[in-house]
Chain A
Amino acid sequence: MSTQASRSAARVMLSPAVISLLIWMIVPLVLTLWFSFQRYNLMYPERAGFVGFYNYTTFVASPDFIQAIVNTLLLVLGVLAITVIGGILLALLIDQPIWGQGYVRILVIAPFFIMPPVAALVWKNMFMNPTNGLFAEAFKALGLQPFDFLGVAPLISIIIIVAWQWLPFATLILLTALQSLSSEELEAAEMDGAPAHKRFWFIILPHLSRAITVVILIQTIFLLGVLVEILVTTNGGPGTASTTLTFLVYKQSILNSDVGKAAAGGVVAVILANIVAVFLMRAIGKNLDA
């Protein structure tokens, strides 16, 4: 129904949401943008002034930056690989006729609901600790030297932790998509003589392609923002071995007082996120009639 009365009511009813989100988006971003062009250090507030792209060039030129970008890419791609491939396989497995499918789902879903600090600390203390972590125990039982996961392979360790948290999400989404595949299509293919792996590549995988795309894009957005897991385990170290772009900007924001440089880093992070968001929006927009 659309009358003038209902349309003006609709505008009024929308305004709190629109206005609050508008303010939330614009005000901080504008400030960040503003700061990024300023030389603004909280310790020397009197030495402020417009410095053009100085902050950007120093930020991008610092050796930490390259490392951070590489680490970010490794983290995102690593977690995506594990969760998507693992998710597909898990979804296929859970979709089979098994006893207690509901309970299996509950067990597999669980890691996603664990708050990041707890997840990170469980892995750090219980598993990866070289003195009394379970992995260390396993290595010792095999007669090997315990491996200092977080010290020697910090990024890989974090990838494992984050992938553990997000595997359930990917699995759940892919399982949902899988279950919407009509069994008739698969049965017809079977009657046509297609073997299992062909059915997988030519029927199941294409059907899942949209879900896979969504999983990849949504996870990427969230993965770019991973912070607590790094903060609580390696704090970005040793050195910058496990510092991602987000963590770099965070460190600059909190630890240094160079607001200008941190802001420039923030803008770079926004640009990166926006690139992914554009693709995600297009994928979502295609079926926003829900």
Chain B
Amino acid sequence: MGQITLSKVTKRFGDVSVIPPLDLRIEDGEFVVFVGPSGCGKSTLLRLIAGLEDVSDGQIAIDGKDATGVPPAKRGLAMVFQSYALYPHMTVRKNIAFPLRMAGLSPAEQEKKVMAAAQVLNLTSYLDRRPGQLSGGQRQRVAIGRAIVREPQAFLFDEPLSNLDAALRVNMRLEISELHASLKTTMIYVTHDQVEAMTMADKIVVLNAGRVEQVGSPLHLYQNPQNTFVAGFIGSPKMNLITGAEAAKHSATTIGIRPEHIATSTTEGLWKGTVGVSEHLGSDTFFRVNNTGLGETIMVRAGGEVAIRHGETIYLTPDPKKIHRFDDKGQRL
């Protein structure tokens, strides 16, 4: 149904290669998240899949059929834009009905499907309003409704939550995940927020400067990052990456240890340092440790409330089973 394959897909803008040859396979029904820093090409990749941009080279296949030259309208995909891109001069009802109108459905059929989508998304009381009269979250839902109603092979989401405030973002995240659970349609989701990626994805594609750094399930990426980029990108706060003598002790150029895998003690431990800035969230405490002789400030996370003060001496012991080792090219050892 919604199986998408990218073979050697390349994108150049003039002389600049934005996406070097890329291979990717997305299975039907998967929730795939493209994640990466700004400018890594994730939105470009999404637009290539949507057909809004031409590939410079390579092939895109949807359900085994070559879709590389097919115009966006005919690919059977639906897209939710970052700015929602609702038609401001049409009511919510007409917005959602638009794709059906383009497909030539009768007004009666249009109304039926619009109502169905509106019910799923709690939009029934807003059907006669214009987008300008809706809140951000409501507009989001209209954009999703417009996509659902097309019954596409796959949904494409382009950073849909970045324009919402934090609380709304958490709610919408859940709603989208639930939508996926009920529709079981393939969803490709682009975001720069690795928390969204970790919580929503079946499969995460980490991108950096157009290259796929790693593909895998959230847990797999967390536990087995293939290179220092993925190691530092996934997980918040970032994994501590240490080079130099300490790394050499583990026969690696760089070692990594996550803040949550470091035990602390005021009396004894492997590394000694002074406490710098600390953040007390109640549920966790994050603090930075300086002067460890390791060349880096170490970020440590402890559960619960820890009574530790700026300038105090502290001892850190990393869990030896959770130390990641990387070679001089940043690849996992």
Contact = CB atoms under 8 A, between A and B. Distances in A.
Interface of A: 1-5
A5 B54 CA distance: 9
Contacts of B69: 4
Contacts of A5: 71
B52 interface: yes
Nearest to A2: B53
B51 interface: yes
Contacts of B51: 3
7 contacts: A3-B52, A3-B53, A3-B54, A3-B71, A4-B54, A4-B69, A5-B71
Contacts of B53: 1-3
A5 B72 CA distance: 10
Nearest to A5: B71
A1 B52 CA distance: 6
A45 to B, nearest CB: 56
A286 to B, nearest CB: 23
Nearest to B13: A2
A125 to B, nearest CB: 51
Nearest to B70: A5
Most-contacted residue by chain A among B51, B52, B53, B54 (CB, 10 A): B54
A5 B71 CA distance: 8
Nearest to B55: A3
Interface in B26-66: 47, 51-54
A4 B71 CA distance: 10
B91 to A, nearest CB: 26
Most-contacted residue by chain B among A1, A2, A3, A4 (CB, 10 A): A3
A5 B51 CA distance: 10
Nearest to B52: A1
A53 B69 CA distance: 58
A2 B52 CA distance: 7
Contacts of B71: 3, 5
A138 B131 CA distance: 64
A5 B69 CA distance: 9
Contacts of A2: 53-54
B114 to A, nearest CB: 27
Contacts of A1: 47, 52-53
A5 B53 CA distance: 10
B156 to A, nearest CB: 14
Contacts of A4: 54, 69
B49 to A, nearest CB: 13
Nearest to A1: B52
A4 B53 CA distance: 8
A5 B52 CA distance: 10
A3 B51 CA distance: 8
B83 to A, nearest CB: 14
B234 to A, nearest CB: 32
A168 B47 CA distance: 49
Contacts of B47: 1
> 3 tightest CB-CB pairs across the interface, nearest first?
A3-B54, A1-B52, A4-B54
